[in-house]
């Protein structure tokens, strides 16, 4: 079984960006059908980009940085992270 804490952090970021459903489907497909390691940062960043998330902001969210700039078209809103 993969170490999934990072995938869960990524899921919260994806939800904040309005991509929760696509992110969830992509991770489930990657894990169950493609046998990808969803505990690997590189794999997660690639999957996040595939569903429309900015990989740099996504990776920052995985790292738990204090603020992550939204990649959406909302004028560069800032999301505060715990």
pLDDT tens-digit map of 33-64: 999 999 999 999 999 999 999 999 999 999 88
Q: Name the pTM for this structure.
A: 0.75
Query: Which stretches of 1-82 are DSSP H helices?
Result: 5-16, 20-32, 41-50, 55-63
Asked if pLDDT for residue 70 goes beyond 80, the answer is no
Per-residue tokens: 65: 């940085």
Are 66 and 80 in contact by the 8 Å Cβ rule? The answer is yes
Are 9 and 62 in contact by the 8 Å Cβ rule? The answer is yes
- 70 or 6, which is more confident? 6
Mention every residue, 6+ apart, whose C-beta is less than 8 A from residue 20: 11, 14
Confidence band, pLDDT 50/70/90 cuts, at residue 69: very low
């Amino acid at each position: 079984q993969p170490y999934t804490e990072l995938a869960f952090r990524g899921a919260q970021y994806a939800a904040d960006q309005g991509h929760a459903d696509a992110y969830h489907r992509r991770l489930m497909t990657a894990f169950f059908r493609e046998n990808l390691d969803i505990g690997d940062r590189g794999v997660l960043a690639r999957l996040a980009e595939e569903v429309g998330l900015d990989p740099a902001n996504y990776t920052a969210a995985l790292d738990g940085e204090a603020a992550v700039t939204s990649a959406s078209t909302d004028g560069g809103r800032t999301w505060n992270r715990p």
